[in-house]
Chains A and B, each alone.
Chain A
Amino acid sequence: MGNKAVPVSPEYTNYQLIGLTTLRVFIGWHFLYEGIAKMLNPYWSSAAFLLDVKWIFVGLAESIVSNPTALGLADNLNIWGLTLIGFALMLGLFSRWASVVGMVLILIYYFFTPPLVGLEYLKPREGSYIIVNKNLIEACALYVIYLFPTSNIIGLDRLIYRNQTAK
């Protein structure tokens, strides 16, 4: 994934490194526990979320809900996606990939239920949002983590890069 825009080994101050690593670990924590909580709850299903979808993805959401195979797939993708991304971000393992996939996942949540003017949701929101909500902010934070990687300094990626360079 290395490209010119993102240097593999930027130079951070200690504070910058602590700040960026903490952000990565906290987002990882959030993903991981969301995944584990769903895994542990035998009654959890993405159906409730999908039935409350508004805006441009209503049709897609309904198709998923009405097809048990698709719904099962969506459930598993959510559970395992969240869990694996969570692990990756926390441990600093393939973190740059994880931040991109995590961002896409969060953006899906965002675009399925965007807080746009005129859209009413069944499920009450825990705060007040207009256009920008915590999903969008978390997606943005993941973009920052992608642009400012830390896992090759603090994280298992350090070992992987080491092996690569050792060759």
Chain B
Amino acid sequence: MNENKTDSKPAGAGKTNLGRREILKSLATLPVVGVLFYNVWKKLRRDALRKTNLLSDLVKEHKAPAVVSPKNSGKYLRIGIIGYGGRGQHLVRGAGFAAPDWVETAAANAKKNKLDKGFKTFMQQEDLNLSIVGVCDLFDLRAETGLAASKNEIRPGGKPIESAKRYKHYTEMLENDDIDAVIIATPDHWHAKIVIDAARAGKHVYCEKAMTRIFQDAIAVYDVVKETGIVFQLGHQNRQVESLDRAKEIVQQGLLGPINLVEVTTNRNSPWGAWVWTIHPEGNKRTIDWDTFQEPAPTKIPFGDEALKRFFRWRMWFDYGTGLSGDLFSHEFDAVNQVMELGVPKYVSASGGIYFYKDGRDVPDVFHATFEYPDKNLTLLYSATLSSNKNRGNIFMGHDATMQIGGAGDSNISGLIVTADSESTRYKERIESGIINTRYPIYSYTPGSKQIDGVTSATAKYFANKGLVYTYREGKRVDPTHLHIKDWVDSIRENRQPKCDIEVGFHESLACHMATESYLTGRRVEWDPVKRRIV
């Protein structure tokens, strides 16, 4: 060790003038700060250059869509709800009315888990200037809950202007001239008839997906909606999801190169996810109008235990529902249709089976389908299982790059990533020069990435990953279902068609029915657009 002692006296003790030595010692470390900042500047320049070289010349950055309009001052509307089950309740909440027990549970959840923002998101919804004036449900308890929701003052906008009256049958509701529009959230087998009757009665319609139970009904609904000119919205709330708008821009700008294969998937692994839902303890012959329920169903059975199962778990039977195709693929199809404007497929073939849930259902729990678009040089591939939660996401495979939406684990909720292809023509030079590394995304988009939400249950996560539960407007969390209802209500006031109108609804309906037809008949089916039939 050097035994020389350093000049450790407080600097300048005894001197009054600053010597050169003093200044040097005071500022001795300044060059190190300079080195750090020089390197930070170098890194920034490199990052900026990389970004320019990567995509900013290709991706035009758009700002997130604003919450459509700040305050809804349009005409006051009277809405009826037909079918106030789980989905119906969600739609009515999207319109601004929650049942008292939902409010209680949601508020309690928010207290228990600070990250649970369901209640807050609801209360921050825009007041749409409407009332729920009619409730129709075949199960008394649900109808009563609907009436209570219509009166509930705990809502965005406070005390409702009017409250609802109960209608035993939807036809009585349609006879009421004071009702401007109806939301239809019955099981699928009732959709077509109610949409047609409502349109003929001059009511605007929000119809839950799947649009119809069978193919022929889709044609009929299409024709009547066109003929009457009502404002029709199909319940694919993904149309409001911000990341899908991004995805569309990316595809339109040709960033992925030619796309010949798109793969979409469904993975669920719980009885709830497989539609084995709770049979309400108070559901019985007195509280349920079973005869009306099964009126349009091909198979009729007397009321009993089997009927109760079918009433509460109707998605498990083709008599009432549309199976994996209409129930879950329809979401994926509409998302791809939104991004790529596909239209009706030319050929469809499907396969699958009931491999896990041997519980008396007749809809498959493993299901795959291919949809051919020869004029677009594209195959859309769907693969679904209800006995594995492996989250595969949706993948758009282009010659130059791949875009994945969801599926990268919990960290990528409703976001998307674009990764260059190692054999890409478009990015060849950039890959060779090392500007693009095919192991890392060249573009990624995570809506609301600065916000944290606690999405807890596996099924909620499933929908969140698909972007169906929450979307973001200006960084604020919004329920797409609310935006979708709002889009419909705004369209009624502005006399325009909403985002998921009858045209795209028709595409979805046909694609799903063709897949089901192929599954049930075991052959490839073809769409004849001239004669409007499946051959």
| A residues neighboring B (CB under 8 Å) | 8-17, 21, 25, 29, 32-33, 36, 40, 43, 45, 47, 51, 62-63, 65-68, 87, 90-92, 152-156, 158-159, 161-162, 164-166
Most buried by A among B7, B30, B452: B452
Question: Which interface class (under 10, 10 to 19, 20 to 34, 35 or more) fits B?
Answer: 20 to 34
Query: In angstroms, how far is the closest chain A Cβ from the Cβ of B257?
Result: 28
Task: Say yes or no: A13-B29 contact (C-beta < 8 A), given A65-B114, A159-B11, A162-B12.
Answer: no
Task: Say yes or no: A11-B1 contact (C-beta < 8 A), given A66-B114, A165-B10, A165-B13.
Answer: no
Pairwise interchain contact A162-B11, C-beta atoms closer than 8 A: yes
Pairwise interchain contact B6-A13, C-beta atoms closer than 8 A: yes
Pairwise interchain contact A51-B452, C-beta atoms closer than 8 A: yes
Task: Say yes or no: A91-B33 contact (C-beta < 8 A), given A33-B40, A158-B22.
Answer: yes
Pairwise interchain contact A161-B32, C-beta atoms closer than 8 A: no
Pairwise interchain contact B36-A33, C-beta atoms closer than 8 A: yes
Q: How many Å lie between the Cα of A110 and that of B422 in the bound state? A: 42
Pairwise interchain contact B25-A153, C-beta atoms closer than 8 A: yes
Q: How many Å lie between the Cα of A11 and that of B7 in the bound state? A: 8
Query: In angstroms, how far is the closest chain A Cβ from the Cβ of B62?
Result: 16
Judged by a CB distance under 8 angstroms, whether B9 is at the interface is yes
Query: In angstroms, how far is the closest chain B Cβ from the Cβ of A26?
Result: 9
Pairwise interchain contact A161-B11, C-beta atoms closer than 8 A: yes
Query: In angstroms, how far is the closest chain A Cβ from the Cβ of B293?
Result: 43
Q: Which residues of A contact B18 (CB under 8 A)?
A: 159, 162
Q: Which 10 A-B pairs have the closest CB atoms?
A: A66-B114, A162-B12, A158-B11, A161-B10, A162-B11, A158-B26, A47-B452, A154-B28, A159-B26, A9-B8
Pairwise interchain contact B2-A153, C-beta atoms closer than 8 A: no
Q: How many Å lie between the Cα of A83 and that of B426 in the bound state? A: 42
Pairwise interchain contact A12-B8, C-beta atoms closer than 8 A: yes
Judged by a CB distance under 8 angstroms, whether B450 is at the interface is yes
Task: Say yes or no: A45-B450 contact (C-beta < 8 A), given A158-B11, A162-B11.
Answer: yes
| B residues neighboring A (CB under 8 Å) | 1-13, 16, 18, 22, 25-30, 32-33, 36, 40, 44, 114-115, 446, 449-452
Q: Which residues of A contact B44 (CB under 8 A)?
A: 40
Q: How many Å lie between the Cα of A21 and that of B32 in the bound state? A: 12
Most buried by A among B8, B13, B16, B451: B8
Q: How many Å lie between the Cα of A148 and that of B6 in the bound state? A: 14
Task: Say yes or no: A63-B12 contact (C-beta < 8 A), given A17-B6, A29-B32.
Answer: no
Q: Which residues of A contact B7 (CB under 8 A)?
A: 153
Pairwise interchain contact A10-B8, C-beta atoms closer than 8 A: yes
Q: Which residues of B contact A36 (CB under 8 A)?
A: 40
Pick the residue among A8, A10, A43, A62 that contacts B450 (CB under 8 A): A43
Task: Say yes or no: A153-B115 contact (C-beta < 8 A), given A90-B29, A159-B22.
Answer: no
Q: How many Å lie between the Cα of A40 and that of B1 in the bound state? A: 43
Query: In angstroms, how far is the closest chain B Cβ from the Cβ of A95?
Result: 10
Query: In angstroms, how far is the closest chain A Cβ from the Cβ of B440?
Result: 16
19 A–B contacts, CB within 8 A, in A order: A12-B8, A13-B4, A21-B29, A25-B32, A32-B33, A32-B36, A33-B36, A36-B40, A43-B449, A45-B450, A45-B452, A67-B114, A91-B29, A92-B26, A153-B8, A155-B28, A161-B10, A162-B22, A165-B13
Task: Say yes or no: A66-B115 contact (C-beta < 8 A), given A33-B40, A155-B26.
Answer: yes
Query: In angstroms, how far is the closest chain A Cβ from the Cβ of B56?
Result: 15
Q: Which residues of B contact A155 (CB under 8 A)?
A: 26, 28-29
Query: In angstroms, how far is the closest chain B Cβ from the Cβ of A71?
Result: 8
Q: How many Å lie between the Cα of A157 and that of B316 in the bound state? A: 77
Pairwise interchain contact A8-B10, C-beta atoms closer than 8 A: yes
Q: How many Å lie between the Cα of A81 and that of B362 in the bound state? A: 62
Q: How many Å lie between the Cα of A161 and that of B286 in the bound state? A: 91
Pairwise interchain contact A166-B12, C-beta atoms closer than 8 A: yes
Q: Which residues of B contact A17 (CB under 8 A)?
A: 6, 8
Q: Which residues of A contact B451 (CB under 8 A)?
A: 47, 68
Q: How many Å lie between the Cα of A16 and that of B25 in the bound state? A: 16
Q: Which residues of A contact B8 (CB under 8 A)?
A: 9-12, 17, 152-153
Given A8-B10, A12-B6, A152-B10; 12 other pairs, CB 8 A cutoff = A21-B28, A29-B32, A32-B36, A47-B451, A47-B452, A66-B115, A91-B29, A92-B29, A153-B7, A154-B25, A155-B28, A165-B12
Q: Which residues of B contact A62 (CB under 8 A)?
A: 114-115
Q: Which residue of A lies closest to B12 (CB)?
A: A162
Pick the residue among B2, B9, B12, B114 that contacts A13 (CB under 8 A): B2
Query: In angstroms, how far is the closest chain B Cβ from the Cβ of A166?
Result: 6
